[in-house]
Homo-oligomer: A and B are copies of this chain.
């Protein structure tokens, strides 16, 4: 590619609405242009990045025996009614009517259409397992689209759907996809983690997210630097931090703690470590304002810990949801305002659930259910009944991993997700096959998504500096850019540049020759912004000394390489990028 025959249009400023680096840099580098909120045109270099991502995904999917097809963007509502999602899916599902007033949706995902295909195409156990995928335009009508490709409305997704005879075989299909995803993200050149995840609203009982590590990520990942373990913070099991409960050595003492509605203040007033305090969180189930249906729960966490709302939602009795208790409900139950609540002698009976660590604490400090007072020296069994014990808290950095080592936290961007669906969709749509014994059986399904366009944004969040994007080689718009200095004036420069360009092309390198004849400063700034991994500078001054300069985007300085060694040097250097 010669830059003069291409379209390169970098911008000095990002649009004001671009809040995150990837949005700013992709716009400034001329890779995307906004058509409407959350809807973008992929400009030539942006599309090149997208296609390189797609090619790696496609290659690994094919190697994993998944079969590519292409389902439509516009899908009939009937199938969504059958699955129940026509009702369940919120406003993100864009519903449309055709000229005959028939209902359709713009696909946010394709479980319905693929299950419809499966029920028509799969007749016998002999056809199984099968895994179909497509790479297609998706639409989710986000309420507030933003962050460029990170949370767009129209985007490109790879979604695969596996069909199996039974759960064991479905698990094998899941594992095959898991392994393919590990290879895909490794080939993309991204630092990532496979993270055990909550299955959320899509259903199913087994799920992993693939997270690209980036400080700007929305998700928190718990991992063990010394093991492959990683889980979404929502799901990560928090260990009990006390091997066993200590003896009850202190007497239960009501102590004045004026103006101390928080554990941090109590600990400071009493000159005790925060880890000696217990935090009371009062929740309610049942409708607010209907006391006869309401049940009050007291959840206890160590003073330095945070409640995990996903784990809380899974507690027995919380199946229909929960809420924080109102002040009226708290006053009626504890005879005291929030800030001084505790498990000892409430006014009305409550269910107390202690986090694992709290259950092993002794001589602890908790609210005395009296304004301005806390108890010290509280002990389970002696001062109050043994509690129900559950994992209630978020993991914190440094928590021991029961398998050895310690846990750490980092932020990530979800770019892939694998789910075991079971028979959720096959049951809804009646997708059966004939088993070996001649009897019909439900297809067991899994689904496997990769956000193709989001990967481009995530790669930038992970890889950029003040000057611009730093693409991993595998998904860079070009592998190499040749920057000739004074192309128009110097035939020597022109010939040397063109020769190296042809040599690199012949080696299969994706190279662009910047023959726009702009000033070096502008040219370098453009390519640093665009983020091409390797830049070759060819000028008269260097050629007089038989030298070209080879600069990796991440490096501080350029290598000066004799002209006749440049090709080999580049081919070697590129392997290490």
Chain B residues contacting A488 (CB-CB under 8 Å) are none
Binary per-residue interface labels of chain A (89-117) against chain B in the complex, 1 for a CB within 8 Å, 0 otherwise: 00110101011001010100000010011
A contact patch SS? mixed
A178 at the interface (CB under 8 A from B): no
Interchain CB contact under 8 A, A7 and B130: yes
Find A137's partner among B44, B137, B141 (CB 8 Å cutoff): B137
**A309 vs chain B, min Cβ distance (A):** 26
Chain B residues contacting A7 (CB-CB under 8 Å) are 67, 121, 127, 130, 132
For window 205-242 of chain A, which residues contact chain B by CB distance below 8 Å? none
A316 at the interface (CB under 8 A from B): no
Cα separation A525 to B7 with both chains bound (whole Å): 50
Find A68's partner among B39, B47, B74, B127 (CB 8 Å cutoff): B47
A181 at the interface (CB under 8 A from B): no
**A112 vs chain B, min Cβ distance (A):** 10
Chain B residues contacting A99 (CB-CB under 8 Å) are 91-92, 94, 141, 143
For window 61-95 of chain A, which residues contact chain B by CB distance below 8 Å? 65, 67-76, 91-92, 94
Cα separation A255 to B46 with both chains bound (whole Å): 78
In the complex, which residue of chain B has the Cβ closest to the Cβ of A33? Answer: B117
Given A47-B68, A67-B6, A67-B7, A75 contacting B113 (CB threshold 8 A)? no
Cα separation A102 to B76 with both chains bound (whole Å): 22
Cα separation A202 to B441 with both chains bound (whole Å): 54
In the complex, which residue of chain B has the Cβ closest to the Cβ of A129? Answer: B5
**A500 vs chain B, min Cβ distance (A):** 22
Interchain CB contact under 8 A, B69 and A39: no
Find A41's partner among B6, B69, B137, B153 (CB 8 Å cutoff): B69
Chain B residues contacting A121 (CB-CB under 8 Å) are 7, 9, 33
Interchain CB contact under 8 A, A106 and B74: yes
**A153 vs chain B, min Cβ distance (A):** 7
Cα separation A67 to B141 with both chains bound (whole Å): 30
- Stoichiometry, as copies per complex, reads 2
Interchain CB contact under 8 A, B39 and A74: yes
A42 at the interface (CB under 8 A from B): yes
Chain B residues contacting A39 (CB-CB under 8 Å) are 72, 74-76
Chain B residues contacting A98 (CB-CB under 8 Å) are 94, 141, 153
**A28 vs chain B, min Cβ distance (A):** 14
A139 at the interface (CB under 8 A from B): yes
Interchain CB contact under 8 A, A104 and B36: yes
Interchain CB contact under 8 A, A35 and B113: yes
Which has the most chain B C-beta neighbours within 10 Å: A33, A69, A127? Answer: A69
A503 at the interface (CB under 8 A from B): no
A329 at the interface (CB under 8 A from B): no
Chain B residues contacting A192 (CB-CB under 8 Å) are none
Binary per-residue interface labels of chain A (27-71) against chain B in the complex, 1 for a CB within 8 Å, 0 otherwise: 000000101100111111011001000000000000001011111
Which has the most chain B C-beta neighbours within 10 Å: A33, A72, A132? Answer: A72
Given A7-B121, A121-B9, A73 contacting B143 (CB threshold 8 A)? no
Interchain CB contact under 8 A, B153 and A74: yes
Interchain CB contact under 8 A, A72 and B41: yes
A154 at the interface (CB under 8 A from B): yes
A120 at the interface (CB under 8 A from B): yes
Interchain CB contact under 8 A, A43 and B69: yes
Interchain CB contact under 8 A, B132 and A72: no
In the complex, which residue of chain B has the Cβ closest to the Cβ of A41? Answer: B71
Interchain CB contact under 8 A, B154 and A73: yes
In the complex, which residue of chain B has the Cβ closest to the Cβ of A102? Answer: B36
Chain B residues contacting A67 (CB-CB under 8 Å) are 6-7, 44
Chain B residues contacting A42 (CB-CB under 8 Å) are 69-70
In the complex, which residue of chain B has the Cβ closest to the Cβ of A48? Answer: B68
Interchain CB contact under 8 A, A74 and B154: yes
Interchain CB contact under 8 A, B104 and A72: no
Given A7-B132, A41-B117, A132-B7, A139 contacting B68 (CB threshold 8 A)? no
**A98 vs chain B, min Cβ distance (A):** 5
Interchain CB contact under 8 A, B117 and A76: no
Find A70's partner among B50, B106, B127 (CB 8 Å cutoff): B50
Given A76-B35, A120-B33, A69 contacting B96 (CB threshold 8 A)? no
For window 133-182 of chain A, which residues contact chain B by CB distance below 8 Å? 137, 139, 141, 143, 153-154
Which has the most chain B C-beta neighbours within 10 Å: A46, A91, A102, A117? Answer: A117
Find A75's partner among B36, B68, B70, B73 (CB 8 Å cutoff): B36
In the complex, which residue of chain B has the Cβ closest to the Cβ of A75? Answer: B35
22 residue pairs of the A-B complex, CB under 8 angstroms, read A5-B65, A7-B127, A33-B120, A35-B71, A35-B75, A35-B76, A36-B72, A36-B74, A36-B104, A39-B74, A39-B75, A41-B70, A44-B67, A44-B68, A44-B69, A44-B132, A73-B139, A74-B139, A91-B99, A98-B141, A99-B141, A99-B143
Give me 17 other A-B pairs in contact (C-beta within 8 A), A43-B69, A74-B139, A74-B153 excluded.
Answer: A7-B132, A35-B71, A35-B76, A36-B74, A39-B72, A39-B74, A40-B72, A41-B113, A41-B117, A44-B132, A73-B137, A73-B139, A74-B154, A91-B99, A94-B99, A96-B96, A98-B141
